[in-house]
């Protein structure tokens, strides 16, 4: 876990609503890979600031909180898509949804040379050794981690993947040496039946026999419901499930 002051060096659209941003900084040469779903804090400068005023102090969070409202940089949590310490680079993807949130608003207007800071990263993905297969479930906010996890699976492994996106154009090609069984759910084409779409999709999914490991992330309510189903109806134990609420409908997970 470390603080890195970085510059934006590349921007490209992976899909119409998913933007990949590459940042570079000398300290990223010491970045330690902690797993495919490693999350980090992104600090964005306020208007008039050249860089977000955050320091690498041990109690950085208290220092950040102590800043006045007009100085304190915006902090949001994202997932690293890829890290290249040899080139001092990190890629991360941001879902574009207009100006409805500060992260998306920044990503809509990001320019090469913009200066930001990142703190992290830490991972949760940890399949037990006795897992015969994996179930990776999430909405588009979890897609960077799901894609990264799929890329790291070895030949001979099996993963059942279920991803919810806004529309068909948001699907991505998932690369892996493992066997992937992928289901895409489009909110534009799939009516809700009273429960989150991801819950319905997992409930209807056929899972293989043996010991499974599930990694579930996305909207907090849906993630909790999927976990409950896997434990109560599929027989997975809590130790074989990693779950994270990346965001909450109508509220921010990160402090403001």
pLDDT in tens, 171-211: 999 999 999 999 999 999 877 777 899 999 999 999 999 99
Q: What does the pLDDT read at residue 61?
A: 85
**Residue spans in the chain of domains classed CATH 3.40.50.80:** 133-247
Q: What does the pLDDT read at residue 56?
A: 75
Average pLDDT over residues 89-100: 94
- CA 88, CA 24: separation in Å to the nearest integer? 6
Mean pLDDT over the full length of the chain:
93
Average pLDDT over residues 220-242: 96
Average pLDDT over residues 236-250: 91
For the cut 80, the answer to whether the pLDDT of residue 251 exceeds it is: no
Query: How much of the chain is in helix, strand and coil states, percent to nearest 5?
Result: 25, 35, 40
- What is the CATH number that goes with domain 2-122? 2.40.30.10
Q: What does the pLDDT read at residue 100?
A: 84
Q: What does the pLDDT read at residue 255?
A: 64
**Residue spans in the chain of domains classed CATH 2.40.30.10:** 2-122
- Cα distances from 244 to residues 120, 124, 187, 195, in angstroms, run 17, 9, 21, 18
- Residue-wise DSSP of 130-175: T-SEEEEEEEGGGHHHHHHHHHHPPTT-EEEEEEEESSGGG--PPP
Average pLDDT over residues 64-80: 93
For 227, residues 6+ apart whose C-beta sits below 8 A from its C-beta are 214, 216, 241, 243
The dihedral of CA 53, 54, 57, 60: what is its sign? positive
Is 133-247 in CATH node 3.40.50.80?
Answer: yes
- CA 199, CA 69: separation in Å to the nearest integer? 39
Q: At what angle do helices 220-232 and 197-204 cross, to 10 degrees?
A: 20
Percent of the chain scored above 70 by pLDDT? 97
Contact 204, 194 (CB under 8 A): no
pLDDT in tens, 12-67: 999 999 999 999 999 999 998 889 999 999 999 998 899 999 887 678 888 889 99
Phi, psi for 133 (deg, rounded to 5): -155, 165
More confident residue, 163 or 189: 163
Q: What does the pLDDT read at residue 210?
A: 93
Per-residue confidence at 253, pLDDT binned at 50, 70, 90? low
For the cut 80, the answer to whether the pLDDT of residue 226 exceeds it is: yes
Average pLDDT over residues 92-111: 94
Average pLDDT over residues 113-130: 93
What is the pTM (predicted TM-score) of this model? Answer: 0.94
């Amino acid at each position: 876990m470390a603080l890195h002051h970085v510059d934006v060096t590349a921007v490209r659209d992976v899909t119409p609503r998913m933007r990949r941003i590459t940042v570079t900084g000398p300290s990223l040469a010491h970045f330690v890979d902690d797993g495919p779903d490693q999350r980090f804090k992104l600090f964005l400068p306020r208007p008039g600031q050249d860089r977000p005023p955050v320091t690498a102090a041990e109690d950085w969070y208290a220092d950040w909180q102590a800043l006045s409202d007009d100085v304190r940089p915006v902090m949001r949590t994202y997932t690293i898509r890829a890290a290249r310490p040899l080139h001092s680079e990190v890629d991360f993807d941001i879902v574009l949804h207009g100006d409805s949130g500060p992260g998306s608003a920044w990503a809509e207007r990001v320019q090469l040379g913009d200066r930001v800071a990142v703190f992290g990263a830490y991972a949760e993905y940890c399949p037990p050794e006795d897992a015969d297969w994996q179930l990776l479930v999430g909405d588009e906010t979890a897609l960077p981690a799901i894609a990264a996890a799929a890329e790291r699976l070895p030949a001979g492994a099996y993963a059942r993947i279920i991803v919810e996106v806004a529309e068909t154009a948001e699907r991505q090609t998932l690369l892996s040496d493992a066997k992937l069984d992928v289901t895409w759910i489009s909110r534009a084409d799939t009516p809700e039946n009273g429960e989150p779409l991801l819950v319905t999709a997992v409930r209807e999914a056929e899972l293989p026999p043996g010991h499974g490991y599930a990694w579930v992330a996305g909207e907090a309510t849906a993630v909790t419901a999927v976990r409950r189903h896997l434990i109560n109806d599929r027989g997975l134990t809590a130790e074989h499930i990693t779950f994270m609420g990346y965001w909450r409908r109508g509220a921010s997970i990160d402090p403001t």
